[in-house]
Structure 1
């Protein structure tokens, strides 16, 4: 009897089913053995050069064991502490995320975490609630996930995650992983969640630890913001492929956070981030972009629909994206809903409030202190929305109150309690720091408002006044800027940085004598070991040149030149002062030295041309002016100099004896 042969299709199906059953059996066995998944341990795309714990143990005088924020983490995190052993009938909530979770520009006291800590005992009195603020300044989702992994050791019941604003801050690249198709990405993500893959990964991990993986970006232990290495947002360029990689990594990290929470038996609540779109222009845009201005124009005409579209386009096309774009917010909104996963749409709920209070739903300065950080009142609202979401998800006891059912006396008591904990001076310092950051990033309108707030809180404050004056200067209100600078200099004569800034403005305005006095004070005040001493000495020489005191200028500049002979600004100014005192030979050499370094510097060619005219060398002068006009055809001084040189050449030609 001949045996029937199975068709290739049946053989393939039989092989797939057999392989699948084997993998399921292996997965079941590994589950029984307690083998974890690879995503429980590490991000396959980003590693860290050093893992430094966020919390460290300590024992108090009574012998009780506690955990508190590690001292070396207090730059990025609030000072928090909680018991090493969770008490009975206690639910522990860890709030994680970036600077909004932290409570910036203030701290935990007025953050949504701080408010939630006070509300929960009144909403659900049957449970002892612990709310720990583990939000890290400038922390992106991949760092938040790492923090969550550590927190799983501390018996969490709920994670609250506010993330999405910091995804582009650090310099990261993405390897070939993100060149895969959507199917490949899904399959890779699914495999990474299996314990079989985790077992293989753990075996290979030792090899990866000793031999760096080129497909993984290794970041420093703490945040190393890309902006820290630039002058404002200037280092950012349009890079759609990089942005796509960041978006996919963000989505991966949120799903990884769900896995981390579930592995620890905790529930997880995500907050859809909200941003200031109406009163915060993009940090960097294409030169031809007008979306934000179009939005302002439409808003002024009360065309809110058009304004909203323009503002959101401007936000989404920001080349330096320090606010969560729409597609990142949608990733949070569209997370899979489950009994242990909840999403609070902060953006939509705040827009509803805005519509009721302002008559439109365009979020702006009414609700934010800068581009992303909410006011204290908005933190309060968010905390109540989170509490309501937890109640609707049945994460609280059946007897828990809805936030609308909280007695008015209780609301007033909690408000008063939070207010009593606010230190006005600390708030003033926080506002000043925010003003400095906004000023540095070119957001002068926002910086101005926060500087004024800081001045009010701190009853003056030199640095805030000088920031305010500089903001006024860069927004075109020069007269007001001079008045604020003058008042600040009078009130704080010892603030050398402020005096130097004021002197620079006066220098540009041609008020050389007053500028000279301010720079002289700065030169005396700054030690020669401080770079500011030399910048003040250079600025002093420019004021002297403006006063035609070329001898004093040359004296100052010679010292600056000896200190930094490669500084071409100093070399150019020294050439000017030498020309002013009649030392044309030295001036000629110095101008040529500048041109050796910067052959296309128009002003140096022009100044050299006029010096050559003074030396009665019209041929050389004509060549210098011709070069300047090649570089800048409409330069008026070069045009005038060329005419003079041509006339002198003609005159010399007529007066020369004929052979």
Structure 2
């Protein structure tokens, strides 16, 4: 009792002398080794001081700003999360934050609303929480958090943090809110040497995606222990965000994330798992309940999980609500909308541009649901009106304001980039429509044209692929990568003479210092072999062999060309034929020992 009373007395004394409560909600599992602030100070021509997105953060964040000194009668809203919050594949203009910025003055005209989009591309919950720590210093009124999709992107290990009991975690969290803890911790930090022990987990200053260091999702392997710890860390960071908001006397609104289920297969599935195929069959026969369960199982069992698993969504859904903590179930609301509009609750391309990023209209709908949630929670002025009470003219004004800011070229480039990423990841069914969008928005685009054709090729729509490849070759004959891809398709179709034409173009297009030159040259030689033009094949292969003597594909093709020349030119001359075959054997003998 004496100890408790003493601590209370110290806390009261610190309060009286003006020591603030601790807002340091540092993640004990992560040391942000080179953390660079999101915001930087900026003074405009009129001398007004603003906080804006730091220039070196604009690769991952939208260019945003707000006044350093919050004006009176202002509600400051920070929207946090990953690329969905950012507005990908577009930007802030058409994100739910951008829509909120237009709706709020119409429903709550007596309040000044500042909406700052702090969504970071590929940001997972631990990075979102770190951004939230920084923003908590700038008089926030409300945090809106959409997170859960990026938890498995970065390679991370875990120390012994999760071996702590719930009681230990609770006690640490409670102490971290006290002024006494802040004073003691600040004193300890001044004397604490830099962390160098093996249990310290450093996190780079910016996102270092695991996919950036791989050839794609193939690098992912099933690791239950790692996955379970990622899940525990996610739950920890959700609680941590609530604590940060409460320390800043701000409210927090979590959004349950939603994903494309039926129109995006797993990024890496177990060969024995046919959940996605089961879902497709059930959906096509109208068995929507079976389809929904199968599609959801496919997401949950994805070895390369780039969509939030079910338990992530469920954890956010079950966050205890209070006067300053609310949850918007975006996934459930979107399912209900899908049922009304399409007769089923399975989410797909009607609402998503790829695996997770909503369409512009889905962002619009999310913003409306957010406004309704804020209104129902009493977080808007008493005089505010419900969205349904807005006139049709007002709604149309908002639509025009947002859609009028869209630049077709910028949007087309965004679609092209999205098509490239999905094509790279092997998501050809997702990439194809985005490539079509890019072609339409840009009035034609070489890269998008050939991506579309290649996607059709890999999804078995060969006749359509040939048509699109022909369009590409005719319109963009110097886009050598696409021309070469068309040559490969023609080679597969047995149209070797046409393939020779494509590979000849590609060979001339790439300089000899580019590896693609030599791949095109080899493919040209194979096409020559296909039409029994052994002389031409031999000439190309000799150059390839001189460039890379250890390439066994070239060696065996060279042998085939040599034999072909002997059979066709000197069939009656046994000595010459023997000599060519002898040359072939010498080539093979010279290389095989080094390969073995």
Is the pair's TM-score, using the shorter chain for normalization, greater than 0.5?
yes
1:520/1:540 contact within 8 Å kept: yes
- Among 230, 239, 254, which residue is 2:214 paired with? 230
CA 1:236 to 1:25, structure 2 compared with 1: closer, same or farther past 3 Å? Answer: farther
In 1, Cα distance between the equivalents of 2:168 and 2:559? 65
Task: Give the Å deviation of 1:98.
Answer: 0.5
Q: Which residue of 2 aligns with 1:529?
A: 513
C-alpha spacing 1:282/1:30, structure 2 compared with 1 (3 Å)? farther
Correspondent of 1:252 among 233, 236, 248: 236
8 A contact 1:296–1:307 mirrored in 2: yes
Pair 1:284-2:281 in alignment: no
Write the distance in 2 (CA, Å) between the matches of 1:574 and 1:179.
Answer: 62
- Correspondence for 1:12: none
**Structure 2 counterpart of 1:81:** 65
Which position in structure 2 is the counterpart of 1:616? Answer: none
Aligned to 2:386: 402
In 2, are the aligned partners of 1:35 and 1:199 still within 8 Å (CA)?
A: no
Report the Cα offset of residue 193 of structure 1: 5.3
Corresponding residue of 1:66: 50
Task: Report the CA distance shift for 1:333/1:559 in structure 2 as closer, same or farther (over 3 A).
Answer: same
- CA deviation digits over 1:194-219, x for unaligned, max 9? 66665565455467763324223323
Q: 1:57 to 1:581 in 2, by over 3 A?
A: farther
CA-to-partner distance for each residue in 1:558-602, whole Å, 9 max, x for gaps? 443444444444444444445545644554355457655765xxx
Q: Is the contact between residue 21 and residue 177 of structure 2 (CA under 8 Å) also seen in structure 1?
A: no
Q: What's the CA shift for 1:467? A: 0.7
**Is 1:239 paired with 2:236?**
no
1:119 corresponding residue in structure 2: 103
What's the counterpart of residue 168 of structure 1? 152
Unpaired segments ≥5 residues, structure 1: 1-16, 600-659
* Structure 1 residues 152 and 485: CA distance shift in structure 2, 3 A: same
CA distance in 2, matches of 1:29, 1:573: 86
Question: What is residue 515 of structure 1 aligned with on the other side?
Answer: 499
Matches of 2:339 and 2:244 in 1, distance apart? Answer: 37
Match for residue 132 of structure 2? Answer: 148
Tell me which of 432, 445, 466 is aligned to 2:429: 445
The alpha-carbon distance between structure 1 residues 393 and 479, as it changes in their structure 2 partners (threshold 3 A), is same
Q: Tell me which residue corresponds to 1:324.
A: 308
2:19 corresponds to which residue? 34
Residue 242 of structure 1 deviates from its aligned partner by 0.8
2:483: which partner in 1? 499
Q: Unpaired segments of 5 or more residues in structure 2?
A: 567-579
Q: What are the superposed Cα offsets for residues 263-322 of structure 1, whole Å, 9 maximum, x if unpaired?
A: 222211111101111222211111111111111222222222222211111111111111
- Determine which of 533, 536, 543 is the counterpart of 1:549: 533
- Flag the 1:560–1:30 CA change in 2: closer, same or farther, 3 A: farther
Q: Identify the residue that residue 52 of structure 1 maps to in structure 2.
A: 36
Where does 1:111-510 land on structure 2 (aligned, <5 Å)?
111-180=95-164, 186=170, 201-203=185-187, 205=189, 210-510=194-494
Q: Distance in 1 between matches of 2:513 and 2:368?
A: 54
Matched residues, number: 582
What SS does the aligned partner of 1:68 have?
Answer: strand
1:621: which partner in 2?
Answer: none
Structure 1 counterpart SS, 2:136: helix
Contact 1:36 1:199 in 2 (8 A): no
Q: Cα gap change, 1:477/1:210 in structure 2, threshold over 3 Å: closer, same or farther? A: same
Displacement, 1:479? Answer: 2.0
Report if aligned partners of 1:572, 1:590 keep a CA contact under 8 Å in 2: no
Q: Residues 64, 30 of structure 1: CA spacing in aligned structure 2 closer, same or farther, 3 A cutoff? A: closer
The answer to which of 549-558 and 291-300 deviates more is 549-558
Q: 1:29 to 1:528 in 2, by over 3 A?
A: farther
- CA–CA distance in structure 2, aligned partners of residues 28 and 531 of structure 1: 71
1-structure distance, mates of 2:325, 2:481: 51
Label 1:456 to 1:264 Cα distance change in 2 as closer, same or farther (>3 A): same
Going from structure 1 to structure 2, the CA distance change for 1:31 and 1:307 (only over 3 Å counts) comes to: farther
Q: Which piece of structure 1 moves more, 282-291 or 551-560?
A: 551-560
C-alpha separation in 2, matches of 1:548 and 1:326 = 57
Which of residues 11, 15, 27 in structure 2 aligns to 1:43?
A: 27
SS at match of 1:234: helix
Verify the 8 A CA contact 1:572 1:594 in the aligned structure 2. no
Query: Cα gap change, 1:34/1:573 in structure 2, threshold over 3 Å: closer, same or farther?
Result: farther
C-alpha distance 190-590 of structure 1, shift in aligned 2 (>3 A): farther
Indicate how the Cα distance of structure 1 residues 20 and 538 shifts in structure 2: closer, same or farther if over 3 A, else same: farther
2:218 aligned counterpart, secondary structure: coil
Deviates more, 1:113-122 or 1:510-519: 510-519
Instruction: Give the whole-Å Cα distance in 1 for the aligned partners of 2:542 and 2:585.
Output: 16
Q: Indicate which of 530, 544, 554 corresponds to 1:560.
A: 544
CA contact (8 A) 2:19 2:179 kept: no
Q: Which residue does 1:9 correspond to in 2?
A: none
Contact between 1:98 and 1:166, CA under 8 Å: does it hold in 2?
Answer: yes
After superposing the two structures, state which structure 1 stretch, 524-533 or 354-363, moved more.
Answer: 524-533
Deviations 1:303-344 (A, max 9, x none): 222222111111111111111111111111122222221111
Q: CA deviation at 1:29?
A: 5.6
Q: CA deviation at 1:24?
A: 5.2
| Distance in structure 2 (CA, Å) of the matches to 1:585 and 1:503 | 33
**After the TM superposition, which residues 628-647 of structure 1 pair with which residues of structure 2 at under 5 Å, given as runs?**
none
For the 8 Å contact 1:170–1:223, the answer to whether it is kept is yes
Using CA pairs under 8 Å that are at least 6 residues apart, name the structure with larger relative contact order, 1 or 2.
2
Distance 2:458 2:193 in 1: 50
Larger gyration radius, structure 1 or structure 2: 1
SS in structure 2 opposite 1:343?
Answer: strand
More off after superposition, 343-352 vs 116-125: 343-352
Specify whether residues 593 and 146 from structure 1 end up closer, same or farther in structure 2 by C-alpha distance, changes over 3 A only: farther
TM-score w.r.t. the length of structure 1 is 0.83
Measure the CA separation in 2 of the matches of 1:245 and 1:18.
Answer: 40
Aligned equivalents of 2:501, 2:192: Cα separation in 1? 62
Aligned equivalent of 1:622: none
